[in-house]
Structure 1
Amino acid sequence: MTLTKTSRWLALALLLSGCGTGEVGSDPEISSFGTSITENTQLMTGERDFAISLTQKFASEAPNTVHFAFNSSALDGLAQQALLRQAAWIRNYPQVRFRVYGHTDLVGSAAYNKALGMRRAQAVVAFLTAQGVSRAQIDAVVSEGKTQPLVFTQAPNAQNRRTVTEVIGVLRRAPAQLDGKYAQRVYQGYLDSAAPKPMNTVANQSSAGIAISPGN
């Protein structure tokens, strides 16, 4: 990791450390950081890197997609289980912004599916907030309708009937409860994800000529 990239993350960590005094629910937009154009550029670039890293982390640790029955925005048991995991993950990152996208299959008119996709996204947001997720963290609820199918078929298709929750950035001002420990945890998580992974021990032993006994 280059020094420049590290400095971006340090700037972002300072943003997350809670030195701002705004209230929860402030406009979720990229914060200015100092008066230097260079500092602002580093912060915005750091936020983009941060969002990409956390998007990957979120997708690997919590299901970011839930599915729906045909012509329905109701959350079944499987969807609720997935959203419980989403909510638990999101609560651990109170300074992170998310966006929920609603999708449909290709059956029906564009206008109808646009509205159906919105109802699905709204159902997800309502469930997440009921689990203690701050509404300020949900930057927008978007309906893609039937414009972005995963499977191109005119028949009903469960994979297309979905919502997707994505990381999009950080809130403009830190909630009062955030402190340096939170920023350190986020930054350390990034460092851990960027660190080279150790080679497989068994493979190392084999390449060194050490005999490995077969397991049971």
Structure 2
Amino acid sequence: MGLRKVTLFAAVGLATLAACGNNENWHKEAGSFYTSRGSFGEATALNIAYQTGERSFVVDLNNRFSQEVLTTVNFAFNSAQLDEAARDILRVQAQWIKQFPEIRFKVYGHTDAVGSRGYNKQLGKRRAHAVVNFLTTQGIHRSRLVAAISFGEDQPLIVTQGRERLNRRTVTEVTGFMSNNPATLDGKYAEIIMREYIESATEQPPNTESGLESISGQSE
């Protein structure tokens, strides 16, 4: 009986080792399968972000940002010019962004599929820069805004090879904390929310005489 158990355990061990040898991920960095690219160092950065609380705060704030304001603006065909509708949306974005001076934002540029891939990459970048430039005119410091990313035609909302306004867009997202605000990660998130809560308070009008008389009448 004992010999059979030993033989069984040995067989299981060999099978496990064989499985590890055949698994192409066994030699990669621990946690790499949680990231999109799995490149070296990415899992470590992800772990740090979770441990400091930055990642969860950024996700929460970005969800709130997308729920409270329009994060997307659209463009005319082959254009990086902001129309009045886009400027109206960006003014609202700027007001929201001003509430959180500790937070950085990134603007992603997109195009439709008309034109070459290389041209669309550049067009998407010009659109992202147009948005960032306008936000700076609304009082947002340039160091808080990044417009270096363009997806070009690679992430359409509507899959088509023709012209499509919904695909010609930029998207603004929360991406992290300012590097000169490290204390924000040390339990300061609640203070940010508390500050916003206090600043949002409005003075209530005093009770009118008619209101007081009504209350007095009810008490009698």
Give the TM-score band, short-chain normalised: 0.5 to 0.7
The answer as to whether partners of 2:49 and 2:55 remain within 8 angstroms in 1 is no
From the two aligned structures, give the one with the greater helix fraction.
2
Deviations 1:30-87 (A, max 9, x none): xxxxxxxxxx947655100001000011011111100001111110011000000011
Pairing 1:111–2:118 present: yes
Verify: 1:63 aligned to 2:70, yes or no.
Answer: yes
Identify the residue that residue 192 of structure 2 maps to in structure 1. Answer: 186
Question: What per-residue deviation string (whole Å, max 9, x for no partner) do you get for residues 130-185 of structure 1?
Answer: 1110111114431111111111101100110000001111011129xx9x9x8544
CA distance, structure 2, for counterparts of residue 42 and residue 62 of structure 1: 26
Query: Residues 42 and 75 (structure 1 numbering): CA distance in 2 closer, same or farther, change over 3 Å?
Result: closer
Name the aligned partner's letter for residue 60 of structure 2: S
Distance 2:103 2:68 in 1: 16
User: Counterparts of 1:49-128 in structure 2 under 5 Å?
Assistant: 49-128=56-135
Distance 1:115 1:92 in 2: 32
Aligned equivalents of 1:106 and 1:122: distance in 2? 20
Percentage of pairs with the same residue: 49
RMSD, aligned CA: 2.7
Could you tell me which runs of 5 or more consecutive residues in structure 2 were left unpaired when the two chains were aligned: 1-46, 196-220
- Tell me which amino acid in the other structure corresponds to 2:139: G
Between the two proteins, the alignment pairs up a number of residues equal to 148
Which residue of the partner structure matches residue 169 of structure 1?
Answer: 176
In the other structure, the counterpart of 1:143 is 150
CA contact (8 A) 2:129 2:147 kept: no
Q: Which runs of 4+ in 1 moved over 2 A?
A: 40-45, 182-189
Q: Match of 1:159, SS? A: helix
Higher RCO structure, 1 or 2 (CA under 8 Å, sep 6+): 1
SS across alignment from 2:166: coil
Residue of structure 1 in register with 2:159 after alignment:
152
Q: Distance in 2 between matches of 1:45 and 1:140?
A: 26
Q: Judging changes above 3 Å, is the alpha-carbon distance between structure 1 residues 136 and 44 closer, same or farther for their aligned structure 2 residues?
A: farther
Compared CA separation, residues 173 and 44, structure 1 to 2 (3 A): farther
CA separation in 2, counterparts of 1:106 and 1:41? Answer: 38
Cα distance between partner residues in 2 of 1:117 and 1:140 = 10
Letter in 1 for 2:77: F
Larger radius of gyration: 2
2: CA distance, partners of 1:107 / 1:75: 20
Contact 2:107 2:145 in 1 (8 A): yes
User: Aligned-pair distance for 1:186?
Assistant: 3.0
